């Protein structure tokens, strides 16, 4: 599909590096975002900037979306002037994390207009998006998935997880809940170790050689906490959104979420106290502040 123009709506923290990789691989791209500053870099690389969502949907058969919330996703897809009204679009590939219920609602609404939805949330953060090292969890009609399958290789490793829109969302939320819960408990252990006089570097080395290792100890702490950069590239507010959606979906499936709810509460309190715009790795600072009271 490299000879056809692709659409991309939502070129923020995650969308911009993914769109950039498509451009670098020679794909023609028409883009839209409400933030003009988000468009400048991609325009400089040859992307055509549309004036509206509808213009993108009138120009491209395949549209990618990377949007921050279920409400925004539904408005972009099904609202007035949305993707649903487009003359050209035939497949929506949603890279957002919006939950299975929003994904299913949008998929049903678009299908009435003959537009297929490929549910394809990604994991790996902005750094992974820039490197093309994301995990992409793909679900949808097999024929629609086959039509866009080769495009995913630009972003990272593809996992076909189901044939129904929403199944990719469920797996992504479960993954994010595990990741952010691991970071939270690791932050508590780290704060305790520091107060007990342990060397932080040695502490991580020992944990990673033992049974306590996890994604936080293997990646986020060595790369973003110990150097003091706190720059993983994912805000606390997005953690709160994702873990909230995850807990709600699990509870809707009848799974009691004792630990999930505890982690959700911790992240929400941290956001309320110190601000949701901070990088998620700064949770360590919040917990250290609580520990020193």
Place of tokens 């306590």: 212
Is 195 in the active site?
A: no
Tokens describing residue 51: 């004036």
The three-state secondary structure class of 137 is: strand
Q: Please give the Cα distance from 289 to 105 (Å, whole number).
A: 42
Tokens describing residue 140: 């949808």
Place of tokens 């902005």: 126
Catalytic residue among 4, 34, 172, 241: 172
Burial level of 69, CB count in 10 A (0-12/13-18/19+)? middle
- Going by C-alpha positions, the residue among 41, 30, 29 that lies closest to residue 2 is 29
Q: Please give the Cα distance from 240 to 72 (Å, whole number).
A: 17
Just list the catalytic residues. Answer: 172
């Amino acid at each position: 599909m490299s000879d056809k123009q692709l659409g991309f709506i939502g070129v923020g923290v995650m969308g911009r590096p993914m769109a950039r990789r498509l451009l670098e691989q020679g794909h023609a791209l028409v883009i839209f975002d409400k933030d003009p500053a988000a468009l400048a870099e991609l325009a400089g690389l040859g992307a055509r900037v549309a004036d509206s969502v509808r213009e993108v949907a009138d120009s491209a058969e395949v549209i990618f979306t990377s949007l921050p919330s279920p409400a925004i996703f539904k408005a972009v897809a099904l609202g007035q002037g949305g993707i649903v009204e487009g003359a050209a679009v035939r497949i929506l590939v949603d890279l957002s994390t919006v939950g299975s219920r929003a994904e299913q609602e949008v998929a049903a609404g678009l299908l009435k207009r003959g537009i297929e939805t490929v549910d394809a949330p990604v994991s790996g953060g902005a750094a992974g998006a820039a490197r093309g090292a994301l995990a992409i969890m793909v679900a949808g009609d097999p024929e629609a998935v086959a039509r866009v399958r080769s495009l995913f290789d630009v972003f990272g490793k593809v996992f076909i997880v189901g044939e129904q829109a929403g199944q990719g969302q469920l797996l992504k939320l479960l993954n994010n809940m595990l990741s952010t819960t691991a970071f939270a408990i690791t932050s508590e252990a780290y704060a305790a170790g520091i107060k007990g006089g342990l060397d932080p570097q040695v502490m991580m080395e020992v944990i990673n050689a033992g049974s306590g290792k996890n994604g936080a100890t293997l990646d986020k702490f060595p790369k973003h906490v110990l150097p003091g950069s706190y720059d993983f590239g994912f805000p606390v507010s997005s953690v709160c959104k994702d873990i909230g959606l995850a807990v709600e979906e699990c509870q809707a499936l009848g799974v009691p979420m004792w630990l999930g709810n505890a982690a959700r509460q911790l992240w929400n309190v941290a956001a309320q106290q110190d601000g949701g715009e901070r990088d998620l790795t700064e949770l360590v600072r919040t917990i250290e502040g609580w520990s020193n009271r």
